[in-house]
Amino acid sequence: MAHPDRSTPTPMVGRDAELTEIAAALGVGTSAGGSRPGGVVLLSGDAGVGKTRLLTELRDLAVADGWQVCAGHCLDFGDSALPYLPFSEVLGWLAADLPDVVDRVAAAQPALARLQPGRRVLTAPDDGRTAALDRGDLFEAVHALLEAAADKAPLLLVVEDTHWADRSTRDMLSFLFTRPFAGPVAVVASYRADDLHRRHPLRAQVAEWSRLRGVDRIALSPLPDEAVRALVAQLAPAGLSHKELAAVVEDIVDRADGNAFFVEELASAASGGGSWVPADLADLLLVRVDRLDDTARQVVRAACVAGRKVAHDVLEAVAGLDAAALETGLRSAVEMNVLVTEGGRYAFRHALLGEAVYDDLLPGERVRLHATYAAALRDGRARGTAAELARHARLAMDLETALDASIRAGHEASAVGGPGEAAYHYQQALELFADSRRTAGDVGLSTLVVQAADALTASGDPERAVALIAEHLGRQGEGGTDAERARMLIAQAGALYLIETAGDPVQLSAEAVALAPDGESPLRARALTVHARILAASGDYEEATAVGQDALALAERLDLHELVADAVTTLSGLKKAGPKEGLRAALRDAVEHAERTGAVLSELRGRFLLGRSYQDWAELDEAVAWFRSAIDRAAAAGLPWAPYSFEARWQLALVLHVRGEWDDVLALTEVVDLHAPIIPRALLDSVRLLVLQARGADVAREVEGLRRYWEREGGVAIHAAELGIVAAGRSGDVAAVLGAYDDAAVEMTRIWHAWFSARVRLAAVTVATLAPLLPRLSAAERERLAVDVARLHTDGHTVLLRYTDPSGHWGPEGRAWVARLDAETLRVRWLIGVDAPPQDVLVQAWREAEARYDELGHAHELARVRAGLAGILRATGDVADAREAADLARATARRLGAQPLLEELRALGTAPGRAEPAAGSLTARETEILALVAEGRSNGEIARRLFISAKTVSVHVSNILAKLGAAGRTEAAAIARRRGLLG
């Protein structure tokens, strides 16, 4: 028996702890821990927070545990509530399920008949004594009925919405709470906490019930943010893109205050876009406001215009009430749970309630109130920020005030390390600039454009910065002064060189230098500084040095500390042509100079360049330290996505990946900021997927999702291409493996040039991926593949020949991948038998690759090389060294959780303690079949050649592998050649 079923289309989210607590208190299910069924729980929570949903789960848990469940509901009839209504409902359900029990109790307790549904009648007036006796009889009758029902099985009684309960119902509950049950009867009474204003009759009643022995109170707090995100993921409309879904999730988390009902309503309206409140939800919320008196409503309307929270002095300045009336209205709003006090300010109990009140204002009323706020903030009668003034002035249509305040808000955000907020305010100012009839104080349009662009770049969105400047340069055309154009070109070039683009940042920065005023001009100093930085990044080191020295001299004469630090960092980074110690000493000096002068962006660049120097030389401990210092400094400055701060995080993730600290990689690449720029997010995702794929995950779908970013960031293309090559290899698709390599080569040639250094790595990964696929190919397919492998080998060595760097240094990483490419190429030739190398040459190549990855400290690639080496050593008869290499690889693979590598090692058959099986003598037929296997023939081809069945061939091949101790057909052929078994 249970109360009526309710639809539960989605799993309960975020209430497992509360369900366990209430079940344990009542002795329901496994949570009871052996306690006796029974007890009372008062369940409270705001409207919509999830009380009914929790009680539905409790019902299901109880029914599964063999309980009977019945429920009664209080309804909002105002002053005309029907006495004992929920108990009439309970009696109706019990009469339907346990008619014999109800008849027996009714015969002994006639008062029970007064509660039967359909028989509720008005009784004649009586004196107080008779009424009291009748009430006592009724209470006893209900108690007896519940007791009798519990004789069959434990009984759970749920009374919902007791905030609407009439006095008689409350008295009945008081009686049941204080009168013990002999049998297993448990009672839950739920109520809305936000409806219990200070004069509500249930408020005092709950306080009395809470003091009773055996009565537990459980309050449902708002859902935590993570639970809201999980719920939205279940409820959000289909068809939203990842970015749209992320925006919907965070908007609902921000607005719903952890209220499950609000979440559901907002999620259902999400496909409509915007931050409006659905009409049905607004009507429900506004009922509470309608109960207020006129003064309180005036206060609430004034408060909603402020936003989430409002201070008392601000309300005093804008509400249009004297102090006494304001306090009276505020007290009423607080008592009715419309407003709450938080940290000395007033806030709406639910954020959506404030939105609903705001949406309900008349347009003219809204403008008037915003104008009142703006005036109070402007003349100092109320305290607030420039951002608040900008918002109120804009919504009051006071564009000049809004323009000035937006610029001030941008400056304030920049000063406290909020580049994203600064970019928003500057862009708001740009929108207002065209509509305003005057300039924004002393700030010209070009300056404002540059400020917005610099803030966008610092927030990790240089693409948007470039587009913003291009838009305004296009509007300007031939108009404007040279200085204005130079100012915008400097910022555009500075952002352009940070992204993959067909534009030429060197040309732009050179044009900016040409347009900048001659002489002792701060604008010229900035143009020279940026031009030097871009020349250095483009590889024109000689000119970069000359321009950088000019920039430094001019900036020092003008005492421009930030530009001095920028130029010093650029010149320090140009010392790569000398010993690395000189470069590092210069960069340390540049970092110290930037710290002293407060030039944060130059300091970040110096720390990043130091990390890269150590990374290039595989001095990974020092690289980690410098990258982490850049990340920490950026975090302290509020610039996590600024140039060189994000790059430090990305490079640190790559270093940790090399060192095999994969759990740290996953933590570092997890982006919890849903407003993070898309390209940095994609770069971090690409490193994260390297770990997941190496641990055995199928990441093909995620890799395909990265494809859209290749043209915007070469780093994404390189890692995604490697992931795609490996994924294609796991599916056994040779054409897809080669296609993934060729696609990357084409894209990177377009972005950079044909002989980009990472091409060596991609070529090596491609050949390594193709080698295990050889046994599946026919002899003709192998010969064609040999041609492709030779092309890949040539590609890699062409890169090596064309590589240029001022240091003349091909670092440990480059040397490792070249050695790997050579080793993998020799293995393929050896396996195919085309221009096969001598065994000692092959082994030496693999030993060289092992040494190079050991020097680099690349844990996973070193283990992969050792696995490949173990297979070659085993096939050439060096069992002891094969086992040693395999054991080392196996230990690393287990530490990393690299399941595919562990499976490869298991297939190799070099587990510790396993001896090489003696080569049994092959039969004439087995020798004949082995020769065809060595030619690369399939079982079907061999069967047709020898006029036997394919099944018979399969049996012979299995016997051959067992006799030779080979893990596969390719290894069997190699063993046969080494032992001279093929004649």
Which tens digit of pLDDT belongs to each residue from 905-940? 988 764 443 334 444 467 777 888 888 888 888 888
- Between 151 and 236, residue with greater pLDDT: 151
Q: Are 933 and 942 in contact (CB under 8 A)?
A: yes
Helix H, strand E, coil C: the string for 560-617 is CHHHHHHHHHHHHHHHHHCCHHHHHHHHHHHHHHHHHHCCHHHHHHHHHHHHHHHHHC
Q: Output the pLDDT for position 148.
A: 95
pLDDT at 577 over 70: no
Q: Are 638 and 598 in contact (CB under 8 A)?
A: no
Highest-pLDDT range among 388-392, 502-506, 673-677: 388-392
Q: Output the pLDDT for position 122.
A: 40
Q: Output the pLDDT for position 223.
A: 87
Rounded CA-CA distance 432/408 in Å is 14
Average pLDDT over all residues of the chain: 86
DSSP 806: T
- Across 188-197, 228-237, 558-567, least confident range: 228-237
Q: Are strands 309-311 and 215-219 parallel, antiparallel or unpaired?
A: unpaired
**Percent of the chain beyond pLDDT 90?**
53
- pLDDT grade, residue 591 (50/70/90)? very high
Tell me the one-letter amino acid at 694.
Answer: A
| Residue spans of alpha helices (H) in 12-98 | 16-26, 51-64, 85-97
Give the mean model confidence (pLDDT) for residues 625-633.
96
pLDDT at 668 over 90: yes
- Between 266 and 239, residue with greater pLDDT: 266
- Between 69 and 582, residue with greater pLDDT: 69
pLDDT at 8 over 60: no
Which are the contacts of 67, defined by CB distance < 8 A and separation ≥ 6? 28, 37, 153, 154, 155, 156
Q: Which two tokens stand for residue 360?
A: 């309900």
Q: Are 832 and 792 in contact (CB under 8 A)?
A: no
- Across 437-441, 608-612, 743-747, least confident range: 437-441
Give the mean model confidence (pLDDT) for residues 835-862.
94
Rounded CA-CA distance 782/784 in Å is 5
Tell me the one-letter amino acid at 72.
Answer: G
- Between 775 and 35, residue with greater pLDDT: 775
Rounded CA-CA distance 25/21 in Å is 6
Tell me the one-letter amino acid at 60.
Answer: D
- Between 884 and 285, residue with greater pLDDT: 884
Q: Output the pLDDT for position 236.
A: 72
pLDDT at 147 over 60: yes
pLDDT at 669 over 70: yes
Q: Are 59 and 2 in contact (CB under 8 A)?
A: yes
DSSP 857-914: T-HHHHHHHHHHHHHHHHHTT-HHHHHHHHHHHHHHHHHHT-HHHHHHHHHHT--TTP
Q: Which two tokens stand for residue 351?
A: 């954020």
- pLDDT grade, residue 30 (50/70/90)? low
Q: Output the pLDDT for position 879.
A: 85
341 phi and psi, to 5 degrees?
-100, 130
Q: Are 602 and 594 in contact (CB under 8 A)?
A: yes
Give the mean model confidence (pLDDT) for residues 174-190.
93
Cβ atoms within 10 Å of 364's Cβ, excluding its own: 8
pLDDT at 561 over 80: yes
Residue with tokens 């024109």: 540
Q: Output the pLDDT for position 436.
A: 61
Q: Are 215 and 177 in contact (CB under 8 A)?
A: yes
**Percent of the chain beyond pLDDT 70?**
90
Q: Output the pLDDT for position 384.
A: 86
pLDDT at 566 over 70: yes
Q: Which two tokens stand for residue 342?
A: 């938080």
Q: Output the pLDDT for position 241.
A: 62
Q: Are strands 339-342 and 185-192 parallel, antiparallel or unpaired?
A: unpaired
- Side-chain half-sphere exposure of 475, counting CA atoms within 13 A: 11
- pLDDT grade, residue 260 (50/70/90)? confident
Q: Which two tokens stand for residue 137?
A: 């009889």
**Helix/strand/coil for 503:** coil
Q: Which two tokens stand for residue 147?
A: 């007791």
Q: 3-state DSSP: the chain helix, strand, coil percent, rounded to 5? A: 70, 5, 25
237 phi and psi, to 5 degrees?
-60, 145
- Side-chain half-sphere exposure of 154, counting CA atoms within 13 A: 21
Residue with tokens 């009276």: 328
Q: Output the pLDDT for position 971.
A: 80
Which tens digit of pLDDT belongs to each residue from 738-784? 999 999 999 889 888 888 889 999 999 999 999 999 888 888 888 89
Which tens digit of pLDDT belongs to each residue from 351-366? 788 888 998 999 999 9
pLDDT at 693 over 90: yes
Give the mean model confidence (pLDDT) for residues 458-483.
86
439 phi and psi, to 5 degrees?
-75, 160
Q: In b/e form, how buried is each residue of 691-712, taking b as 16+ CB within 10 angstroms?
A: bbbbbeeebeebbeebeebbeb
Q: Are 648 and 640 in contact (CB under 8 A)?
A: no
Rounded CA-CA distance 18/24 in Å is 10
In terms of phi and psi (left: phi > 0; alpha: psi -120 to 50; beta: otherwise), the region of 259 is: beta
Highest-pLDDT range among 32-36, 360-364, 434-438: 360-364
Q: Output the pLDDT for position 913.
A: 39
Rounded CA-CA distance 462/603 in Å is 19
Q: Output the pLDDT for position 209.
A: 93
pLDDT at 126 over 70: no
pLDDT at 247 over 80: no
pLDDT at 657 over 70: yes
Max CA separation in the chain (angstroms): 121
